[in-house]
């Protein structure tokens, strides 16, 4: 149930492509509102924000995109007095994406327009859209627009150890854990993972199974991410992280509470990033949560660009 005081949550994307060496971004002309804005839409029940972003952009523009770096959120008050928060990401659009996109003017969107950043700033109807475009411009100018991600996932809610007679690694998910697994699958898939790694524990494998089915990727189970194999020095985890960063492939790692801080610490160390509140939050996940760490692609020095954490 929602009330008049419940904030409206939405997600949008700065879709971009390079034309003649310079970025152009996509704007939508909205039919009913008679305005020009960045494409976005409201969260549906059972969605995480990343899933909302890719779904809405597909529905509004016909483009099927993969999420890149988060661009923060904007807040404004609607005519009915409700607060609205829109979370934004960037997403590069390639020629294949454009070729397969099918857009037809409709009751919501009358037309699409690709413009340079400077022209887009002048064309959008709202200052908050200009703020988001400025964030993307800073990202692009810094060479951080093209990224890959390492996604750390904590398994869903499992049967408590004190009530389980078998080995700890065989503890199954509770009903709530299965629900969490189904919900986060769409959110993680929005980043187009290329590889899925998991602890060998049953609760981790079950958590990541809906994502594997959705992405048609195999799950590589490894004891190095398991709680049973957890050791204080974290050398095995550091080796896994180093390999994934070297390959620059967006990779999912599903693991346990004690192991996740080692994963985040190894990622921070690999990119010479000092731990901060955002990284600590990324490491201290509750069951079913996931964190996405974005790294600049094709750079000589490993560079952490952004960190985000999501709950089911």
Tens digits of residue pLDDT in 156-176: 999 999 999 999 999 999 999
33: confidence class by pLDDT, cuts 50, 70, 90: confident
At residue 232 the predicted structure's pLDDT band, cuts being 50, 70 and 90, is low
Q: Band of the pLDDT at 3, cuts 50, 70, 90?
A: low
Q: What confidence score (pLDDT) does residue 298 get?
A: 78
The yes-or-no verdict on residue 231 having pLDDT over 80 is no
pLDDT, position 66: 97
Whether residue 104 has pLDDT greater than 60: yes
Taking 80 as the threshold, does the pLDDT of residue 230 lie above it?
Answer: no
In this structure, whether the domain defined by 8-141 belongs to CATH 3.40.50.150 is answered with no
What average pLDDT does the segment 114-141 reach?
Answer: 97
pLDDT at 1 over 60: no
Model pLDDT, residue 190: 98
How many other CB atoms are found less than 10 A from the CB of residue 81?
8
**C-alpha to C-alpha distances, 79 to 4, 83, 84, 107, nearest whole angstrom:** 12, 9, 10, 21
pLDDT number for residue 160: 95
Mean pLDDT score, 1-26: 90
User: Candidates 3.40.50.1240, 3.30.420.40, 3.40.50.300, 3.50.50.60; correct CATH number of 147-310?
Assistant: 3.40.50.1240
> Residue 243 pLDDT more than 80?
yes
Report which of residues 108 and 121 the model is more confident about: 121
pLDDT at site 79: 87
pLDDT at 108 > cutoff 60 = yes
Tokens of 272: 């010479």
Is the model's pLDDT at 278 over the cut of 90?
Answer: yes
Locate the domains of the chain by residue range: 8-141, 147-310
């Amino acid at each position: 149930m929602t009330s008049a005081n419940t904030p409206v949550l939405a997600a949008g994307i700065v879709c971009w492509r390079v034309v003649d060496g310079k970025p152009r971004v996509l704007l939508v002309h909205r039919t009913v509102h008679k305005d020009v804005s960045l494409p976005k839409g409201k969260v549906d029940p059972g969605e995480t924000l990343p899933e909302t972003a890719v779904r809405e952009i597909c529905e509004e523009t016909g483009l099927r995109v993969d999420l890149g770096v988060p661009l923060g959120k904007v807040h404004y008050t609607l005519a009915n007095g409700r607060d609205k928060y829109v979370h934004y990401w960037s997403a590069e659009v390639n020629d294949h994406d454009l070729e397969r996109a099918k857009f037809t003017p409709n009751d919501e969107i009358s037309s699409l327009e690709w413009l340079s950043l400077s022209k887009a700033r002048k064309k959008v109807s709202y200052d908050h859209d200009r703020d988001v475009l400025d964030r993307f411009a800073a990202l692009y100018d810094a060479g951080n627009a093209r990224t890959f991600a390492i996604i750390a996932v904590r398994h869903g809610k499992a049967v408590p150890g004190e009530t389980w007679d078998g080995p700890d690694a065989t503890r199954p998910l509770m009903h709530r854990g299965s629900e969490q697994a189904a919900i986060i699958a769409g959110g993680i898939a929005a980043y187009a993972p290329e590889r899925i790694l998991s602890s060998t524990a049953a609760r981790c494998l079950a958590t990541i199974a809906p994502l594997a089915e959705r992405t048609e990727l195999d799950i590589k189970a490894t004891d190095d991410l398991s709680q049973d194999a957890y050791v204080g020095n974290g050398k095995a985890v550091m080796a896994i992280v180093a390999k994934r960063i070297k390959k620059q492939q967006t990779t999912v790692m599903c693991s346990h509470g004690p192991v996740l801080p080692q994963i985040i610490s190894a990622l921070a160390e690999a990119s010479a990033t000092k731990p901060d509140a955002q990284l600590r939050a990324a490491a201290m996940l509750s069951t079913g949560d996931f964190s996405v760490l974005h790294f600049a692609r094709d750079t000589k020095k490993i560079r952490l660009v952004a960190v985000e954490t999501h709950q089911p």
